[in-house]
Structure 1
Amino acid sequence: MDISDWRQKIDELDVEIVRLINKRAEAARAIGELKKTADLPVYEPRREQEVFDRVRKANPGPLADAELLHVYERIIDVMRTLQRRDL
């Protein structure tokens, strides 16, 4: 494959990533509603650590765990903001 082929592959993957992030946001929004009803806090550090541990365990590379966790920290931060916004 040449550069244009790889870029096309990345473009296709980006579309799939956007779809999956939005599905994750839908789930986070639903959880936020349940937290609101149950008067639970949006920020749950133990749950976030569980997510990070699971992501680290599932990581086959080539990203180092620290790099992948950096991406997930941002995703979770955005999801937390979504939950707070919907309160």
Structure 2
Amino acid sequence: MLMLYNSDSFAVLQFDLPAAQDERAVAGEERRGGYEIVDKFARKEIFLEGTLAQCFREGVDRLVETEPTEEALDEFIAGYTQLAQQPVTLH
């Protein structure tokens, strides 16, 4: 787990997980991963993986090239948190 972004509104974590045994054989990959986005105000989180995670990463990469403000980053991330259904629970 790697913390990529942390603002007053959002936290974004990157996960690199081992692929399931049957997925390795089919996809030829050893690892899989994704991004967890926590909306601090709504107290919800979403885990992005696969194509959605790739789109998120590409969008972040394009945005970073413009040297965005925190507000611009939060606005971009907010577009993904609209999909969030899972309430945040503390362990």
TM-score (norm 1): 0.30
- Tell which has more relative contact order, 1 or 2 (C-alpha 8 A, sep 6+): 1
TM-score (norm 2): 0.29
Larger Rg: 1
Higher helix share: 1
Higher strand share: 2
